[in-house]
Structures are given as C-alpha cells and as structure tokens.
Amino acid sequence: MKPIDLRSDTLTQPTPAMRKAMANAEVGDDVFEEDPTLKKLETLAAKKTGKESALFVPSGTMGNLVSVLSHCQRGDEILLGDRSHIFLHEVGGIAALGGVHSRIIPNNPDGTLPLPLLENSIRQSDIHYPPTRLICLENTHNFCQGSPLSPEFMDSVRVLATKYGLKIHLDGARIFNAAVALDIEVETLTRQADSVMFCLSKGLSAPVGSLICSSRQFIQRARKFRKMVGGGMRQAGHLAAAGLVALENLVQRLKDDHLNAKTLAEQLALIKGIELDQTKIKTNIIFFKLNHPQIDGDTFINLLEAKSIKILMTDPGVFRAVLHRDVSREQTETVAQTIQSILTL
Ligand SMILES: *Cc1c(COP(=O)(O)O)cnc(C)c1O
C-alpha cells in the first residue's frame, strides 16, 4: 500500500497535465536568456506578485540565499525571526556564503515579529555595530502553524523599513496558501516587500522550482548571484512548463488542503494524549504535541509507519503534518482513526 505521507507538501507528484506540458515545452538556453517557456513563467510570476521582474531558481533555499546576497554586503546585519526557515533550515548559507550577520527576533506564535522589539533591534550608526540592512518575513509561517501574515502586518513593517531605510525580503514559499486562506490577491501580500520568493514545488505540486520577484534592477543582480552559486540552468523551460500549469490551474485547489487540515486538526484535538490548538490551523500545516504516559515520540512515529502513515517529528514529542494534493479527505479520516487507536492502546 502506498503510504499516506504527511511529512511535507513537497512530496506532491506532478499532475498528468504538468507531465504533458513538460514533455512538450518549447525550450532554449536560459543562461543566454533564450528559453521562451521560462520567460513566460517569469512574466506570470512577476505579474502575480505585482513586481517588475522575476527569476526562476531551482529551490526556495537558493531563492532566499540569492535574495539576501542581492540585498546585502558582507558584514551587513539582517533581522529575522527565530522560527524562520532562513534562520533554522537553510544551512546558515547567508552567513557561510554571504558573510551576512543574523539578528534574531523571537517570533510571535502567529509568525509575526513583535514590532517594538523589531524597531529596537535596528542599529544606530556606531563604530561598534554592523549596519542593519534587511528585514526578512515569512508568509505563511511554516514553523508557526502555517500562519498567514496579514496585509496590515506587512504595512506596519513597511512603515518601520521606510523610517530606517531598510529593505524587506519576504520568504513566501507558501504565499499562495496565505492568499487563498485570507481570500485576497497575492499582490496584496507582496506589495510591501522589496523582494519575494515563492515555491512551485510545495502545495502547487510542480516537481522543481521557485521564483524571486522584485524590481528589474534587483533581478539583474540576483541573476548574477544565481550564476555564482551554480543556479544558472539551460533548458529549464521543461521545469517552467510545470510551474505554468501550477500557477494557472492549481492555486484555488489549495483550499482543499486547508479544509482537510482543519478537519484533521479538529479530530486530533479530541484525542487524549494530543495537545493541539485547532483554532491556530488556518492553512495546510498542523503542529501538535504528544503527551502520552507510555508512548514516546520515536515509538509513535514507528507505530504510524507500521500503519503506512508518515509524519515528521520536528522536535522531541512535537510533530508536523502537512496536507497536500496527494492526501485525500478519506485519508485524513484514516489518519485520525489510526492515531486514535494507537494512543488508546
Ligand atoms: C520549503 C521552504 C523553503 C525552502 O524551499 P526548498 O525548495 O525546500 O529549498 C523556504 N522557506 C520556507 C518557509 C519553506 O517552507
């Protein structure tokens, strides 16, 4: 039996329409900027985020790295959340490869940053200090229950950024989830960011790829940095073809994942031994704690695997389940029932 795999929405397989589009894509050498399908994807991505220009990159991690490199010089400081993907899960690339110094702000549980603390963390000019250059935000916030950040929060960060002459980079790996959850256009959430990265390879189900969207001038710099880190690709239009299908046809479908997440969270919250605040579940990501007298985290994972269900333990006793296109409503029922039976052993 094929497992029910809730470890991540990156596990989604390309749709039949994507496979067909990939096979038939018209392609060229993108380092020479001659791939028509890739150009089409970049144009559409720029339009959706309300930016002048866009750049295709192989991964979200490279998209964030190249964006930070394009904003900052070595020795600059950036402000980012302690639960942010850039800080926690990108191998420290901005420091290792960019010489960029991270100033960590504790995230609020909803993925926002406390504004007074953010403002207090912006450096004055002083011989001892690295210059603050950039604020990084994340929407939806992966490790804060997949929370969508509101346009109002973006507006208030913009006010600070403008006041102190800083730039804003938005890690919008799941920005389409945020827009669908809030029932607004993506552009409303990206307007206040100088640059935004989003992923095609998560809930949008494309096999590979992310986009950086920003001003024409910024994208020119980013193109150079992408080449520097080895991300210049040749006939990448084959990948872009799947991305076009994703952006054109699969965005509204994300609502199904959100509904499935909500239903699953409701059911899990009723199970003894599980700690979960279901009111926090707004998109496709569920975090919960296990609090059971006999079953520890590793045992729980093993018992689930034996029933062909996979979830991720992100910290001891803390689990993440991500809903996506390859998990049906019926399968979420199976997951809830299985967890119930394991914990009432
Ligand atoms: C997945 C993710 C990334 C990185 O994307 P990859 O394509 O896996 O490198 C960046 N930010 C957030 C919030 C993510 O969830």
Give the pLDDT score at 41. 98
Read off the pLDDT of each residue in 148-160 and give the average, rounded to a whole number: 98
- pLDDT value at 190 more than 90: yes
Residues 6 or more apart whose Cβ sits within 8 Å of residue 23: none
d(CA 216, CA 141): 27
Q: Which CATH architecture has domain 253-343?
A: Alpha-Beta Complex (3.90)
Q: Does the C-beta of 201 come closer than 6 Å to ligand 1?
A: yes
Q: How far is CA 104 from CA 16, 136, 285, 329, 332, in A?
A: 43, 10, 23, 38, 36
> Is the distance from the beta carbon of residue 175 to the nearest atom of ligand 1 less than 6 Å?
no
Answer whether 145 contacts ligand 1 (Cβ < 6 A).
Answer: no
CA-based end-to-end distance of the chain? 23
Q: Distance (Å, rounded) from C-alpha 155 to C-alpha 224?
A: 30
Establish whether residue 61 lines the binding site of ligand 1, counting it when its CB lies within 6 angstroms of any ligand atom: yes
What percentage of residues in the chain have a pLDDT greater than 90? 99
Say whether 144 sits in a helix, a strand or coil: coil
> Ligand 1 atom 3: the closest Cα is on which residue?
60
273 contact partners, CB below 8 Å, separation of at least 6: 290, 291, 292, 295, 343
The string of pLDDT tens digits covering residues 259-297 is: 999 999 999 999 999 999 999 999 999 999 999 999 999
Is the model's pLDDT at 78 over the cut of 90?
yes
Q: Is the pLDDT of residue 316 over 80?
A: yes
* 209 Cβ below 6 A of ligand 1: no
| CB-based contacts of 67, cutoff 8 Å, min separation 6 | 169, 195, 197, 212, 214, 222
Residue 333 half-sphere exposure, CB side, CA atoms within 13 Å? 3
Q: Given CA atoms 84, 85, 91, 95 in this order, what sign does their dihedral have?
A: negative
The whole-number pLDDT of residue 83 equals 98
Closest residue by Cα to atom 8, ligand 1, is 60
CA-atom Rg of the chain in angstroms: 21
Interatomic CA distance for residues 156 and 227, integer angstroms: 34
User: pLDDT tens digits, residue range 16-47?
Assistant: 999 999 999 999 999 999 999 999 999 999 99
Mean pLDDT of 179-183: 98
DSSP code for 113: -
- pTM given for the model: 0.97
Ligand 1 pocket member 274 (CB < 6 A) = no
Q: Is 335 in the pocket of ligand 1 (CB under 6 A)?
A: no
- pLDDT of 1 reads 74
Mean pLDDT for the chain? Answer: 97
CB 36 within 8 A of CB 25: no
| Bond into 338 cis (ω within 30) | no
Query: What pLDDT was estimated at residue 112?
Result: 98
Question: E strands, the chain, where?
Answer: 4-5, 53-57, 77-81, 101-105, 132-138, 167-171, 195-199, 210-214, 274-275, 285-290, 309-310, 312-315, 318-322
Model confidence pLDDT, tens digit, residues 204-254: 999 999 999 999 999 999 999 999 999 999 999 999 999 999 999 999 999
Pocket lining: 9 vs ligand 1, CB cutoff 6 Å: no
What mean pLDDT do residues 125-138 have? 97
Residue 221 and residue 113: Cα distance in Å, rounded? 28
**What pLDDT is recorded for position 345?**
67
Q: How far is the CA of 10 from the centre of ligand 1 (A)?
A: 9
In this prediction, residues 110-125 reach a mean pLDDT of 97
Distance (angstroms) between ligand 1 centre and the Cα of 146 equals 12
Which residue, chain included where needed, has tokens 């009723």?
270
Are the C-beta atoms of 200 and 190 separated by less than 8 Å?
no
The answer to whether the CB of 283 is under 6 A from ligand 1 is no
Res 339 pLDDT > 70: yes
Model pLDDT, residue 33? 98
CATH value of 14-249 in 3.40.50.410, 3.40.50.1240, 3.20.20.390, 3.40.640.10: 3.40.640.10
- Residue-by-residue DSSP string for 161-229: HHHHT-EEEEE-TTHHHHHHHHTS-HHHHHTT-SEEEEESSSTT--SS-EEEEE-HHHHHHHHHHHHHT
Distance CA 88, CA 152 (A): 26
What are the domain boundaries of the chain? Answer: 14-249, 253-343
Cβ of 142 closer than 6 Å to ligand 1, yes or no, is yes
- Render pLDDT for 43-65 as a digit per residue (tens, 0 to 9): 999 999 999 999 999 999 999 99
Mutate which of 67, 85, 138 for ligand 1? The one with the most ligand atoms within 8 Å of its CB, which is 85
